Amino acid sequence: MNQSDSELRRELTLFDATLIGVGSMVGSGIFLDVPGMVASSVGGSMLALGVWVAGGAVSLVGALCISELASRMPQAGGQFVYLRAGLGPLSAFLYGWASLLVIQTNAIAAVALAFATYLTPFIPLPGYALKLVAIGAILVLTLANRRSLRAGADTQNFFSLAKGLALAGLVLLCLWPHGDWQASLQPFWPGEWRASLAGSFGSALVGALWAYDGWICIAMVAGEVKLPAKNLPRALLLSTGIVAGLYTLVNLGYFRILSFPAALNTRLVAADAAQIAFPHWGRQLFAATVVVATFGTASAFILSCPRIYYAMAREGLFFRFLGNVHSRYRTPAAAILLQGAIAALLTLTGGYIRLFSNAMFAEFLFYGLSVVALMNLRRRQPAPIDSRLDGSGGYRVGLYPWLPMAFLAFSVWFVINMLIQDFRGTWPVAVLTAAGIPVYWAWKRSGGLQS
pLDDT by residue (tens digit) across 22-58?
777 876 778 777 888 888 888 888 888 899 989 988 9
Residue 87: band (very low, low, confident or very high) from pLDDT cuts 50, 70, 90? very high
Q: Where are the domains of the chain?
A: 8-384+396-439
Residue 409: band (very low, low, confident or very high) from pLDDT cuts 50, 70, 90? very high
> pTM for the full model?
0.81
C-alpha 293/C-alpha 167 separation (Å) is: 9
Give per-residue pLDDT as tens, 300-335.
Answer: 778 777 878 887 888 777 777 787 776 666 678 888
> Residue 282: pLDDT above 80?
no
Least confident of 58-62, 326-330, 342-346, 366-370: 326-330
Highest mean pLDDT among 56-60, 237-241, 414-418: 414-418
Give per-residue pLDDT as tens, 196-208.
Answer: 777 788 888 998 9
Give per-residue pLDDT as tens, 102-145.
Answer: 998 999 999 999 899 888 888 888 778 899 999 999 998 888 87
> Residue 415: pLDDT above 50?
yes
C-alpha 26/C-alpha 38 separation (Å) is: 17
β-sheet bridge partners, residue 12: 225
Residue 101: band (very low, low, confident or very high) from pLDDT cuts 50, 70, 90? very high
Which of residues 86 and 21 earns the better pLDDT score? 86
| pLDDT score for 1 | 40
| pLDDT score for 58 | 92
Q: What angle do CA 424, 430, 431 make, to 5 degrees?
A: 95
Highest mean pLDDT among 178-192, 238-252, 334-348, 377-391: 334-348
| pLDDT score for 195 | 55
Which of residues 361 and 329 earns the better pLDDT score? 361
Residue 76: band (very low, low, confident or very high) from pLDDT cuts 50, 70, 90? low
CATH code, 8-384+396-439: 1.20.1740.10
Round the average pLDDT of the chain to a whole number and report it. Answer: 81
